Amino acid sequence: MTANEAQAAPPHKETLGFQAEVKQLLKLMIHSLYSHKEIFLRELISNASDACDKLRFESLANPGLLEGQPELGLTLESDEAAGTITLTDNGIGMSRQEAIEHLGTIARSGTAEFLGRMTGDQKKDAQLIGQFGVGFYSSFIVADRVEVFSRRAGLPANEGVRWESRGEGEFVVETVDRPARGTTIVLHLKDAEKDFSSDYRLRSLVRRYSDHIAFPVRMRATAAPDAKEVPGFETVNHAQALWTRPRNDIKDDDYREFYRHITHDFSDPLAWAHNRVEGAKEYTSLLYIPERAPYDLWHRDAARGLKLYVRRVFILDDAEQFLPSYLRFVKGIIDSADLPLNVSREMLQDDEAIESIRGAISRRVLDLLAKLAKDEPEKYAAFWKEFGTVLKEGPVEDATNRERIAKLLRFATTQSADAAGDAQSVGLEDYIARMKSGQEAIYYIIADSPAAARSSPHLEVLKRKGIEVLLLSDRVDEWLMDHFREFEGKKLRNIVRGTLDLSGIQTEEEKQAQKSLAGAHTALTERLQKRLADYVDTVVVTSRLTESPACLVLGEHDIGAQMRRILEAAGQKPPQSKPILEINPEHPLLARIAGLQDGAEFDDLALLVFEQATLADGGHLPDPAAFVQRLNRLLLSLK
């Protein structure tokens, strides 16, 4: 048909049914597919951006498609009185047949077909987003009628097309005159959704979801027009993602400002890492370490994760799939060229690509923290104070990166500069560098508080020999140490559990003296064992104590007091076990007990030794009132 014949041909109008014939399917997509109504604008802008991208690529081979208008962009207008939203792009547009195929078939994607036709570098560079063909139907979440006016670039003005539907199973399509190429979508909003026609709300949604698409989104100007803008309009999105710019072109202040923009945190971040990965998996990440912990850091249902973009279009606010739980404090964005999203683009499907990206981002964060610890120890100390307890979950959760995480852990020790014992500043590498000759293990103790750990009687012999001990008091410490048993070939040993083997740093004289001491007080240990049989598993002469009369020692496989309290608080009954009572027979109190005959005074003092060892260990007395009575009798007997 010639151009003159086309001009004379009357407009052709027809009513067609959606090719997905079941009405219920369309209703399901309209009412159940998306979790937030406002998503419709993101979907429509994404489709419009795709249309501009398609024209940009096709015009490389056929410049005439630009029709003398090379500047590509989108225009968004609203009419609050009429309750309408109008989105226009000057992209590739649609022919009548394309409108029938692409708008009349659910889950048919022109973008997906376009990608399939591309090869080589074009496919790598194409900034295409909509690959599911259902985003357009999100319009019906807020609109009870949708009109589409379009003309494909290169077709004459009289081959424009008008498409209209109420989303109820059929649509109307007719040929119309349309001088401008591209597509205009008019949403006639439902009465309950007319607040979406607010200029302020539309601007905020553009900035939230589509701030970083590559084309300008223009709205009616609210101030004096910029000479560079289309008359009467102003650009409301940045139209360039900060993370897509070369790092050398981005100032530190730009990074800080972007952090505040995405987190609404008034503080500056401690550190950040900006990386682009190319190859089989292409993505860009911009990761931040906050300065302060949020109030909901320990809330199970708190939102966490990275902001997810696909080709600069915002998809998810908290994509937790890209970070393990122990790195939940990390903020930032990830922008991928291709991720397996579900049909609504709102959720990620399980995929090897996601696991690969998750592993790479985890390593990136750990490298960033390692660099911070090495180059800016004061900043790392501030980080550890806020997030150290969270990072301690890492060695248990992430076996692959256990060594990396272990190097980042910090502890208070018996040699910490802070006399209060709560300065967690010693790394395991530092500890190993200071180990005594012959010392084979990294020693630690777990207590309710740093002060309780520092004053524990279990430390006495180790202090005398100058052996450093890690002082642990965080609520995750016992759980951590039950799974974290070795670092750089050195065993981690709880000095409150099992036999304290100091053979590597004891002299032969000390070993013989210990053996002789135990043999000389066999009768005392047997008498105490008989009296305290209900409370302790056994009584032995200690090698740990130099000043205190006694201490309690756990069996190798017994749970500690901290874990016992956690289980009890959770309503679980912990396994029952009896501790070992280790006594120091050279202490005056034990010497007095040894000189007593069996009777009431012996019984009282034996029980008091057990009870004071329990208290020193942070435990609870089985009968506090009886303890007070025994203590009073002892005090009254003093002369």
| Tens of pLDDT, residues 568-580 | 777 778 778 899 9
* CA 445 to chain CA centroid, nearest Å: 30
- Kindly state whether residues 176 and 99 are assigned to the same domain: yes
User: Do 8 and 141 belong to one domain?
Assistant: yes
Question: How does the average pLDDT of the chain come out, rounded?
Answer: 85
3-class DSSP state of 96: helix
pLDDT class of 438 with cuts at 50, 70, 90: confident
Which CATH number do you get for residue 496?
3.40.50.11260
pLDDT, position 21: 43
**Per-residue tokens: 498:** 């099992």
> 488 and 536 in one domain?
no
Average pLDDT score over residue span 368-374: 96
Do 200 and 268 belong together in one domain?
A: no
Would 387 be classed as within a structural domain?
no
Residues 204 and 267 in one domain: no
Give the mean pLDDT of 125-145: 70
Which pLDDT value is given to residue 167?
Answer: 82
Which H or E run contains 61? helix 39-61
Q: What is the pLDDT of residue 35?
A: 64
pLDDT at position 319: 85
In 3-state terms the chain splits into helix, strand, coil percentages (rounded to 5) of: 40, 20, 40
Return the H-helix or E-strand segment holding 79: strand 74-79
In a domain, 70, yes or no: yes
- Cα–Cα dist 359/552, whole Å: 43
pLDDT band of residue 85 (cuts 50, 70, 90) is: very high
Residues 222 and 265 in one domain: no
Q: Please check the confidence at residue 16 and state whether its pLDDT lies above 90.
A: no
- Number of residues written out for the chain: 639
Among residues 380, 400, 422, the one where a domain terminates is 380
Q: What percent of the chain has pLDDT over 70?
A: 87
**Domain with 178 in it:** 3-235
DSSP state of 350: P
| pLDDT range class, residue 7, cuts 50, 70, 90 | very low
What pLDDT shows up at residue 126? 53
108 with 27, same domain? Answer: yes
pLDDT of the residue at 368: 97
- For position 288, what pLDDT does the model report? 97
Last residue of a domain, one of 447, 476, 504: 504
Are 33 and 127 part of one and the same domain? yes
Q: Where does the pLDDT of residue 409 fall: very low under 50, low under 70, confident under 90, or very high at 90 and above?
A: very high
Task: Identify the residue whose tokens are 């029952």.
Answer: 576
Q: What is the DSSP string of 521-554?
A: THHHHHHHHHHTTTT-SEEEE-SS-SSSSEEEEB
- Whether the per-residue pLDDT at 387 is higher than 90: the answer is yes
Q: What is the CATH number of the domain that holds 345?
A: 3.30.230.80
- Quick check: is 269 in a domain? yes
- Can you give the pLDDT at residue 226? 66
Percent of the chain residues topping a pLDDT of 90: 51
Greater pLDDT, 572 or 254: 254
What's the pLDDT score for residue 574?
A: 77
pLDDT of amino acid 458: 93
Q: Any idea what the CATH number is for the domain that residue 117 is in?
A: 3.30.565.10
CB environment 84-100: b (16+ within 10 A), e (fewer): bbbbbbbbbbbbbeebb
Q: Is residue 393 part of a domain?
A: no
Residues 50 and 163 in one domain: yes
Q: Residue 611: what pLDDT?
A: 93
pLDDT at 476 over 60: yes
Over range 249-259, report the average pLDDT.
91
How many domains does the chain divide into?
4
- Range among 112-121, 153-162, 346-355, 505-514 with highest mean pLDDT value: 153-162
Domain identity same for 468 and 511:
no
Same domain as 485, residue 337: no
Output the pLDDT for position 212: 80
Do 489 and 515 lie in one domain? The reply is no
The pairing of strands 74-79 and 84-89 is antiparallel
One-letter amino acid of 91: G
Averaged over 614-639, what is the pLDDT? 86
Q: Does the pLDDT of residue 137 top 70, yes or no?
A: yes
Q: Which of 235, 252, 279 is the last residue of a domain?
A: 235
- pLDDT, residue 117, reads 64
Q: Is residue 329 part of a domain?
A: yes
Of 219, 187, 183, 203, the closest CA to residue 84 belongs to: 187
441 belongs to a structural domain: yes
- Convert the pLDDT of each residue in 534-558 to its tens digit: 999 999 998 889 999 999 998 887 7
Which CATH number do you get for residue 631?
1.20.120.790
Specify if 189 maps to a domain: yes
* Residue 436 domain flag: yes
Q: What is the mean pLDDT of residues 322-344?
A: 83
